[in-house]
Amino acid sequence: MDFNLSDEHRMLRDSIANFAEKELKPIAEEIDREDHWPEGLWQKLADLGIMGITVDPLYGGAGADILSAALVCEELAKASAAVALSWGAHANLCCNNLNSHASDAQKRKYLPPLCTGQHIGALGLTEPNAGSDAVNIQTTAKRNGDHYVVNGTKMFITNGPIADTIVLYTKTDKGSGAKGITAFILDTKFPGFSVSKKLNKVGNRGSATGELILQDCMIPAENIIGQENKGIAVMMGGLDVERAFFGTYALGIAEAAFAESIKYAKERVQFGKPIASFQMIQQKLADMYTGIEAARLLCYKAAILADAAKKGGKGTEVHQISAAAILYTAEMACRVCEEAVQIHGGYGYCLEYPVQRFWRDAKLGTIGAGTSEIRRLIVAREILGM
């Protein structure tokens, strides 16, 4: 067993870390404060060659593995969780899903502009009344000649307000539960699509999250991903990778909070000594470090297994390990960020210090891509074989 990253993985991680330090860290506070995505930032991400990081080079991607994508997510999240989230929705939820499940013709049409960053991607699954119970989505798609007429509302969609291409889940057979779900590629220029509102969030500000309306939206039948009523396979495969990938979002935030805490604990003097010399502060730092290291191993293992599953390896293990990785990492990140605020005392509660942003951003990790409760259900079901 080799715990070292390959040279290729290290080079990628270091180049993204360099970019994040120079280009993202200085603007992260402004992105959060203004709830604004800076002009030209998508192009900068595209220049790094990461917009279609896991996409086959045949369609304009970098052809890298899931671990590479997870490393990029970690480094971006260290500087700006909002940027990591929006990039992840584009590169993973949209591009990686299309790369894994779309037809050759669909990939040739939709992936190249997504990989260059000319188009922005998203994924629309959640609805106002169907979050954890994703199989219960109410958006309907009814066949009408060579089109489907789609009606419904999608909620909390990352990049939704700015997306060009959306992987959209619908119900084509309302009475059949999981067997009535169909996935489509939605071009947001199709008639009947609109953005109802951009949501005002406590964290990940700058990453646009929206409510989307589909009112008699016309989607060509050729835009079905896979087959009619077989969308559940697309959804489940995508969620495993999403969890493997999204774990490092929380990991990156925890690492940033930890780094700030070490710096502050060494600088802040009370009772004539740096607070780092007090054992109760040392205990917090030691626990933060331990949680981060444990989470990293879980996340990287999940990413490596997600890749193996993609290549036809064992599926079940990735299902439980990716749920366990994101479950542990997201809760660890919340604890680490809370301790980071505590170590900063009153200053930690002020907007001038970044730890409060990490604290707010980390919370999404226990909600998005399935909540902590749902992740526990998945792990329990898998280990019990139920």
Ligand X SMILES: Cc1cc2nc3c(=O)[nH]c(=O)nc-3n(C[C@H](O)[C@H](O)[C@H](O)COP(=O)(O)OP(=O)(O)OC[C@H]3O[C@@H](n4cnc5c(N)ncnc54)[C@H](O)[C@@H]3O)c2cc1C
Instruction: Please identify, among the stretches 223-231, 260-268, 291-299, 366-374, the one whose residues bind ligand X according to the rule CB under 6 A.
Output: 366-374
Q: Which of 68, 97, 172, 209 binds ligand X (CB under 6 A)?
A: 209
Q: Known catalytic residue: 242?
A: yes
**DSSP letters spanning 255-314:** HHHHHHHHHHHHH-EETTEEGGGSHHHHHHHHHHHHHHHHHHHHHHHHHHHHHHHHTT--
In the region spanning residues 42 to 101, those forming contacts with ligand X, defined by CB under 6 A, are: 89, 93
Q: Which of 107, 119, 201, 301 binds ligand X (CB under 6 A)?
A: 201
From the list 74, 75, 127, 242, the catalytic residue is 242
Helix pair 7-19, 66-79: axis angle to 10 deg: 30
- Residues sharing a CB contact under 8 Å with residue 110, sequence separation 6 or more, in sequence order: 98, 102, 119, 165, 185
Residues 46, 135, 218, 374: which binds ligand X (CB under 6 A)?
A: 374
How far is 307 from 303, CA to CA, in rounded Å? Answer: 6
* The only residue of 80, 92, 126, 188 in contact with ligand X, by rule CB under 6 A: 126
Q: Tell me the window of 138-146, 230-238, 285-293, 362-370 that interacts with ligand X (CB under 6 A).
A: 362-370
Structure tokens belonging to residue 229: 């009523």
Please identify which residue in 259, 367, 380, 383 interacts with ligand X, judged by CB under 6 A.
Answer: 367
Contacts with ligand X, 151-190, as mask; x by CB under 6 A: -----xxx--------------------------------
Pairwise CA distance, residues 2 & 212, whole Å: 45
Residue 175 carries which DSSP code?
A: G
**Which residues, including other chains, have CB under 8 Å from residue 198's CB and lie 6 or more apart?**
161, 208, 209, 210
> Closest Cα partner for 169 from 120, 123, 237?
123
- Which part of the chain contacts ligand X (CB under 6 A), choosing from 64-72, 175-183, 344-352, 365-373? 365-373
- In angstroms, give the least distance from the CB of 126 to ligand X: 3
Query: Looking at the annotation, which residues are catalytic?
Result: 242
Which residues are at the interface with ligand X (CB under 6 A)?
A: 89, 93, 122-126, 131-132, 156-158, 201, 204, 209, 364, 367-371, 373-374
